[in-house]
Amino acid sequence: MRKTEGIDPRFVELDSWPTATAVEAMLEGQLSAAAAVQGQVGAIAAAADRAAERLGSDGRLVFAGAGTSGRIAVQDGVELGPTFGWPAARTVFLLAGGMDALAQSAEGAEDDGPRARADVAAHRIGANDVMVGVAASGRTPFTIAAIEAARTAGALTIAIANNPATPLLAAAELAITLDTGAETIAGSTRMKAGTAQKIALNLLSTAIMLRLGRVYRGRMVDMVISNAKLRDRAERMVGDLADVPVDRAAAALDRADNDIKLGVLVARGLDTDAARALLARAGGRLRDAMALLDMEAGR
């Protein structure tokens, strides 16, 4: 039997317990989900390094999954745009049942391996791309087929599953095993398994963005400024990183068309063309651009 679908004898009478006791037991499961991720820190870090190297300047992140696992993967991918400025054109979602399955169940679609292979071909997934396939059971035909097709096409493939030694983990080049065991409510992988998946995906995608230079001194320097709250945050960010007053940071952001990295360099005294050229020399990495600026200034 798959561990995630097993019955934990401690919880067979859960429905008869006082609500507070039941909630406490379910919370215990959520905490154990985080512990399951801890043992995979090395695997997650290695996958992030490989993924960042493969993605380079034009590769795409592809998220594949079905049901709860697929929806969690899509959530993680969607958030990369506003948080890290990751382009929508460089994100692909292969969800069993299509994107409509985000809002309504399409459980039968998880068995459609041919659809997954067709999706991989339709999106022309290839050697510059990185696919992350997620399935609690590790046996979902749609996700396995997607990983197999992507790997055949030359993409770097990363599998995340909650049962060890499963076909999905074997199919991918890199495997992350989140051994969360039996659920408090048997088979409800939206609970412990889903929580562990969410944590692992957050860690993986954020580490990729770190390695791609989209974070500097703990700030989201590729953040998309889309509202007044984020504009205020960006002004404070530019002010802190360039060590200038907020009014000067705001003026620099205006000249940089709300590009935070450019805004920092402009606030340090460069015009926008020089700032853009310096950032290009630094491969888009603000840390390297700041080092070049200091070196050229003789600091």
**Which pLDDT value is given to residue 1?**
46
**Which pLDDT value is given to residue 230?**
97
Q: Which of these is catalytic: 53, 110, 148, 296?
A: 110
Q: How far apart are CA 133 and CA 147, in angstroms?
A: 6
Task: Please indicate whether residue 79 is annotated as part of the active site.
Answer: yes
- The domains found in the chain, sorted by start residue, are 3-211 (3.40.50.10490), 228-296 (1.10.8.1080)
What is the arithmetic mean of pLDDT over 65-84? 96
The mean predicted confidence, pLDDT, of the chain is 94
Percent of the chain residues topping a pLDDT of 70: 98
Which stretches does DSSP call E strand in the chain? 61-65, 91-95, 130-135, 156-161, 174-177
Is 298 a residue whose pLDDT tops 80? no
> What kind and span of H or E run contains 152?
helix 141-152
What is the arithmetic mean of pLDDT over 252-264? 98
What is the arithmetic mean of pLDDT over 37-47? 97
Read off the pLDDT of residues 209-233 as tens digits, 9 standing for 90 and up: 999 999 999 999 999 999 999 999 9
Contacts from 145-152 at CB under 8 Å and sequence distance 24+? 145/113, 145/114, 145/116, 145/117, 146/64, 146/94, 146/116, 146/117, 146/119, 146/120, 147/64, 147/171, 147/172, 148/117, 149/116, 149/117, 149/120, 149/121, 149/125, 150/62, 150/64, 150/120, 150/125
Read off the pLDDT of residues 100-128 as tens digits, 9 standing for 90 and up: 888 877 777 898 999 999 999 999 999 99
Read off the pLDDT of residues 278-288 as tens digits, 9 standing for 90 and up: 999 999 999 99
- 46 within 8 A of 226, measured Cβ to Cβ: no
Q: Which of these is catalytic: 28, 53, 79, 173?
A: 79
pTM of the model: 0.92
